[in-house]
Structure 1
Amino acid sequence: MSKINILGVDFDNKSFKQFQNEFIGRINMHQSTFTVTANPEIVMAANENPEFMKILNYDADYITPDGIGIVKAAQMLGTPLQERVTGYDLFTWLMRVASERNLRVYLIGAKPQVIHAVQEKVAREYSGIQLVGAKDGYFNEDLEIVAYQIERTEPDLVFAALGSPKQEQLLALLRKNLLPALMMGVGGSFDVFAGAVKRAPLFWQNAHLEWFYRLITNPTRWKRMLVLPKFVVNVREAKKEKK
């Protein structure tokens, strides 16, 4: 199956390698491409917001399973996904591609000190990138104005770390305007990339406990984590309805 539906959201059933191959092809062709990296929080938010669900299923070109919860839910529903494909892994890979190819990159999101640290890291470790814009997420302009500002820089890649649904709303505007770039929402990836937040060690990742590592290292996330039990309950109910 090319698409796997989880609580109304259509995920692309592709491996990391398949996403890489398709993204390279679309970058080569300068195709306008809007990618959502969706975890259980995003799925639950879409179930409560019809406009957000519409963006995911009608405006986005790709939806990747970012989070082991999505992979487990697909298994529970009897429609397994090939593998987890995280937004952070795609982001760092695309940044390497951009550096190798001297691509034009626009970054938007995170706190001012974080986006500044990201700029410094790009200059230091990804010197081939043409960084045409780096804007923090604390702006007051309407998204339409911000979209216009981004379009004027003529980027090849756009990464938005504004949190959902704001980052997807912005990228949907750029997609509707057919900006010839690959655009992706990356959530908290800038914080990890800049070193402001530590990513879970491989042991935790391989044990599928990255979410728990984030919780114990940042207890303020507990309210956000409350959505996970509700997600599991909803998936179980969906499984019963399929029988």
Structure 2
Amino acid sequence: MNKVNVLGVNFDNKTLNQFQNEFIGRLNEHKSTFIVTANPEIVMSANENPEFMKILTSDADYITADGIGVVKAAKMLKTPLPERVTGYDLFTWLMKVANERNLRVYLIGAKPAVIHAVQEKIARDYPEIQLVGAEDGYFKDDLDLVALRIERTQPDLVFAALGSPRQEKLLAILRKNLLPAVMMGVGGSFDVFSGVVKRAPKFYQEAHLEWFYRLVKNPWRFKRMLVLPKFVNDVRKSRKEQK
């Protein structure tokens, strides 16, 4: 089974290593590639937003299970996924690839201080990357104009940290324009990559409790977490309908 459907979103049934091999192949061939890393929040958002669901079902080339909730949901639906594949892990791996290959990278999103910190880290730790663009997410331009601005720099990799579905809307435009780059929405990855926000310690990652660590550190996220019980309930309903 190549795809696993969780509440209308088709996840690619691949391991991290399989994704990496495919993305290297597409980089080598300069194929326009749009990657979505989806957690339960994104799945629920897509179910409430037809335009967003259309992007996921029609425009995305790959959708990874970025969230243990998605992996558990797939298991509940008797169509298990092999493992969780996070956007952050893919992002940091692709940045290493970019450094090894002297690739052209465009970054867009996050706060001005964060994107500045990311630029400093790249200059220090990834000196072989050609950073052809780095802008914060507080632009007021139309997304089509932003897409044109990105296209002019001829990047090999584009990472958008604008939050969903805004980042996916921008990347879908680039994908429709057939930009020959690997493109991915990375949510809050710039914050962690820059060191402005600390990633959950290994214990929390391995216990699949990163969400709990983030909640403790940022209590304001509680409202966002309320979508999780609804996600579980909808998956249970979906399982009953299958029976």
Give yes or no for TM over 0.5.
yes
C-alpha separation between the residues in 2 aligned to 1:77 and 1:144?
Answer: 38
RMSD of aligned alpha carbons: 0.4
Aligned pairs for 1:1-243 within 5 A: 1-243=1-243
C-alpha separation between the residues in 2 aligned to 1:184 and 1:57?
Answer: 16
C-alpha separation between the residues in 2 aligned to 1:100 and 1:173?
Answer: 28
Q: Cα deviation per residue 1:50-89 (whole Å; 9 max; x = unaligned)?
A: 1100100110000000000000000000000011000000
C-alpha separation between the residues in 1 aligned to 2:24 and 2:208?
Answer: 28
Amino acid at match of 1:225: M
- Residue 140 of structure 1 deviates from its aligned partner by 0.2
Identity %: 78
Amino acid at match of 1:51: E
C-alpha separation between the residues in 2 aligned to 1:234 and 1:47?
Answer: 11
Q: Cα deviation per residue 1:167-199 (whole Å; 9 max; x = unaligned)?
A: 000000000000000000000000000111111
C-alpha separation between the residues in 1 aligned to 2:82 and 2:208?
Answer: 15
Q: Any idea what SS the aligned residue of 2:81 has? A: coil
C-alpha separation between the residues in 2 aligned to 1:84 and 1:198?
Answer: 20
C-alpha separation between the residues in 2 aligned to 1:105 and 1:88?
Answer: 16
C-alpha separation between the residues in 2 aligned to 1:14 and 1:131?
Answer: 30
C-alpha separation between the residues in 1 aligned to 2:76 and 2:203?
Answer: 24
- Residue 134 of structure 1 deviates from its aligned partner by 0.2
C-alpha separation between the residues in 2 aligned to 1:76 and 1:136?
Answer: 39
Amino acid at match of 2:238: A
Q: Which of structure 1's runs of 4+ aligned residues deviate more than 4 A?
A: none
Q: Which residues of structure 2 form unaligned runs of 5+?
A: none
C-alpha separation between the residues in 2 aligned to 1:14 and 1:115?
Answer: 31
- Residue 207 of structure 1 deviates from its aligned partner by 0.6
Q: Cα deviation per residue 1:129-153 (whole Å; 9 max; x = unaligned)?
A: 0000001000000000000000000
Amino acid at match of 2:17: K
Amino acid at match of 1:79: T
Amino acid at match of 1:57: T
Calculate the TM-score normalised by the size of structure 2.
1.00
C-alpha separation between the residues in 1 aligned to 2:237 and 2:17?
Answer: 33
Calculate the TM-score normalised by the size of structure 1.
1.00
Amino acid at match of 1:186: V
C-alpha separation between the residues in 1 aligned to 2:183 and 2:17?
Answer: 18
C-alpha separation between the residues in 1 aligned to 2:70 and 2:220?
Answer: 23
C-alpha separation between the residues in 2 aligned to 1:241 and 1:197?
Answer: 41
Q: Any idea what SS the aligned residue of 2:223 has? A: helix
Q: Cα deviation per residue 1:110-132 (whole Å; 9 max; x = unaligned)?
A: 00000000000000000010000
